[in-house]
Chains A and B, each alone.
Chain A
Amino acid sequence: MSSSIESLVNKEYAYGFVTDIESDTIPRGLTEETVRLISAKKNEPEWLLAWRLKAFRRWQTMTEPHWPNVTYTSIDYQAQTYYSAPKSVKPLQSLDDVDPELLKTYAKLGISLTEQKRLTGVAVDAIFDSVSVGTTMKTELAAVGVIFCSFGEAVQSHPELIQKYLGSIVPYSDNFFAALNSAVFSDGSFVYIPKGVKCPLELSTYFRINAADTGQFERTLIVADEGASVSYLEGCTAPKRATNQLHAAVVEIVALDNSSVKYSTVQNWYAGDKDGVGGIFNFVTKRGKAQTNAKISWTQVETGSAITWKYPSVILQGDNAVGEFYSVAVVNNKQQADTGTKMIHIGRNTRSTIISKGISAGQGQNSYRGQVKILPKAEGARNYTQCDSMLIGNACGAHTFPYIEVANNTATIEHEASTSKIGEDQIFYCKSRGLNAEHAISLIVAGFCKEVFKELPMEFALEAQQLLGISLEGSVG
């Protein structure tokens, strides 16, 4: 079984190329000056600079957290570059102005910023290093009042919305990486769905790190007004480099009464090579707050990054709010993931579902860390958690750290976890039916993850399944 798979699978990371493009990069290092420089480059209003500086000063007093179940050489924050933008991007009027080199890059990544995407009904905001290079389908969205643009653009055109909601879910003082992001965040996406509007298109942001030694610090803010609904997708890739690059993003979701937000991520940052050299440190803070009858659903497929450290969470603030978390996390070679969710039940009859599937192969270490907290007022709260781990090979690890804190006796909590080896009898059965080992494994893995994949929008589900196959390549031996 081993040789056939190995030969098939030792495919390279397909997105590891570098685009040779002239960029406007600020010097390395992080001081108050850097923060001012970034703010000035983006021509930001005074209040935003003040907020960044507050965050920066707070960050200086904080220490990097080391409680996650991951190990890495310490990050030199002064050796990073905090802003890099493709030079040609500046006076962007329409997509036709986008540097053809950039469009080629996105075409290579399978993300078309031009016509074709129209067919699939997805609006895309493409972020290249620190800035957005273009947002598609703007007119269609504007017709129903949906605002979907880069964060920098939103600061200029809708400052009142940004000022109202920025930091309202993840305050700048939340944690070390959130504070860092708040100080130096470059770009990201902003979404506003007006009252009662069901967004007619899937919204999508594609993140690409290109420049060397830069950190990417994007900030996404999604506001669903009362009764609104939206489905948002996020994808990411980076070139292969021998040094680790830091990605510290913040995502905030505001779900007002009766609204619904679905946030899907396919994370495929460069994971480093077989020996764990290079790769992205993916330290992300994602959180949403669901008001009365609102629903926030996180779906994530984590296949990339040398280290993943993220806990998309939901604060179930209003009565009858719903929180969901569906996750597939795959680690292979020397990847490490410490991921999970937090469901904070505050309102009455709030419900949350957590389905987490971890797959460990090679020497990968995969941890699920989750918290379900039922506050005293959360009458009738309900949580169901299932976290399953699959181990492929004998050098990997799977760990679970669930925290269940219940302070209301009308709450019902169920938690199940299991860890097992990929079934040899299942592989044997598939083989007896004429499938080869590789197909057998991808079939079994796909079945293992099915509950999560079915939550993804269709295009993403297919992509995710393929990604999974690629990241597990060479893992069965």
Chain B
Amino acid sequence: MTESYRDQFAANAANGGGEGPTWLPALRAQAFERFTALGFPTTRDEDWHFTSVTPIAERTFKAVKSAPTTLTLTDIAPWLVNESWQRLVFVNGRLEPLLSHFSELPAAVQLSTLSDALREEPEWVKQHLGTLAGFDRAAFTALNTAFMQDGVVVRIPEGECVEVPLHILHISDAHAAGAAVHPRLLVVAEAQSQVVLVESYVGLGQASYLVNTVAEVSVGDGARVDHYKIQRDGIEAFHVSTVQVTQGRDSIYHSFSYAAGAALSRTNVYTKLLGTGGEARLNGLYILDGTQHADHQTFVEHLAESCASRELYIGILDGSSHGVFNGKVYVDPIAQKTDGKQTNKALLLSDKARIDTKPQLEIFADDVKCTHGATIGKLDEQALFYLKSRGIGGENARALLTYAFAAQVLETIEIDSLRLLLERAIFARFTNLALE
């Protein structure tokens, strides 16, 4: 199945994919070889036990035909979250300069496309690109590396603080049908810097396409990166995403992952705490219906002393949807004084919905405090009864409790406009009412 991509890879290399510094085609070729050697994962793979990617593997997704989009600012306005943010807008994997707006940044901050960065600072890019997100054992990351198109490079120099969120918006429309896009993101936040990133994936219409994204994030000593990923891909789409983070001393990486779109989605958030006192906060919310399948994997590697990790993942499953959560925490022998806490909760709204969850702890140090908790169930009958006794009955009570279930993780969103947007969307979805 992987062989069918060989012609595409050759064609790609011949027209444009081979551009850039000499090391790049070599990296692509190496990644492609690895991809063909690994093949698509199967459910025999422990990490893919509950998620079959057969629907992706049995098709060959083509490259998108290049054509400038006809979408206007008005068309994309609902997806902008906040129009004042700096933004890069990609339609079907291709940067749309007319829809984008990213010139108002502190001079030292670099926000550019991958191709620009490769032209201007190839050596710097070489030092980082592909070094964080290894593809030795990850077929989708290898595939992305082989085919990565115009990506985004963010570099925040030492001590610089970017207060306004940077928004990277990927839109797929009818032209993406049958195609694959491989977006790439490289974020380097140097020591004591700060940045807030919002990555959005949006599908317009019913097209079936594949988004296979890889983000590499390096958080320097004392730096802080807030990373929001909002996935609202089309209902027929496939979405695979991997975020690989490394964290320095006293750094903070805060991730929030929202998944409501795609027929089949897989979201990996992996972080390595390499320096003393680092902190990882990984939160997520997935809301599924119909026959949707969403798989979230987190992996926190405590590789230094006195680091903390906090995780909260919430799932709301309706219809005959299928949710999967696998949270792994590894504590290295040297990572004494580790403080890890992981919680995942799932609410099953229908009798056909199902959830498979596997919270996993691997601990090799003794002076640690690690806990995980998982709960699965339907709405609390007693809470429903209480609301009823207060005059809120039936559907309203259910809607309110469902919304409240999601709200516990929405509270962790620190950008007001984004939190409100999601709160409203979720409130409306379950109550058919508008939230003030």
Contacts and interface: CB of A to CB of B under 8 A. Distances in A.
Given A394-B333, A394-B336, A399-B362, A411 B376 contact: yes
B376 A400 contact: no
A396 B375 CA distance: 29
Nearest to B359: A402
A409 B353 contact: yes
Contacts of A407: 354
Interface stretch (B12-20, B131-139, B344-352): B344-352
Q: Which of B336, B353, B357 has the most CB of A within 10 A?
A: B357
Given A408-B351, A412-B377, A402 B358 contact: yes
Contacts of B46: 67
Nearest to A361: B366
A420 interface: yes
Nearest to A67: B46
B378 A401 contact: no
B23 interface: no
A384 to B, nearest CB: 10
A437 interface: no
B366 A415 contact: no
Contact of B359 (A397, A410, A415): A415
Contacts of A405: 50, 354-357
A33 interface: no
A389 interface: yes
Interface in B308-367: 333, 336, 346, 348-351, 353-367
Contact of B361 (A67, A399, A408, A414): A399
Contacts of A391: 363, 365-368
B310 to A, nearest CB: 15
B369 interface: yes
A381 to B, nearest CB: 10
Interface string A380-394: 000000000101111
A376 B348 CA distance: 12
Contact residues on B (Cβ < 8 Å of other chain), bracket: 35 or more
Q: Which of A398, A410, A414 has the most CB of B within 10 A?
A: A398
A403 interface: yes
A406 B348 CA distance: 9
A117 interface: no
A420 B369 contact: yes
B369 A417 contact: no
B289 to A, nearest CB: 14
A419 B370 contact: yes
A418 to B, nearest CB: 4
Contacts of A392: 366
B365 A394 contact: yes
Contacts of B355: 404-406
Nearest to B336: A394
B372 interface: yes
Contact of A400 (B354, B357, B361, B366): B361
9 closest A-B pairs by CB: A409-B348, A391-B366, A415-B374, A407-B354, A413-B376, A418-B371, A412-B377, A400-B361, A419-B370
29 contacts: A67-B46, A376-B354, A389-B361, A391-B368, A392-B366, A393-B366, A394-B365, A396-B364, A397-B364, A400-B361, A402-B359, A402-B360, A402-B374, A403-B356, A403-B358, A404-B356, A404-B357, A405-B50, A406-B355, A409-B348, A409-B350, A409-B351, A409-B353, A414-B373, A415-B359, A415-B375, A418-B369, A418-B370, A418-B372
Given A399-B363, A406-B355, 16 more contacts: A389-B361, A395-B333, A397-B362, A397-B363, A400-B360, A405-B356, A405-B357, A407-B354, A408-B348, A409-B351, A411-B348, A411-B376, A413-B374, A415-B373, A418-B370, A420-B368
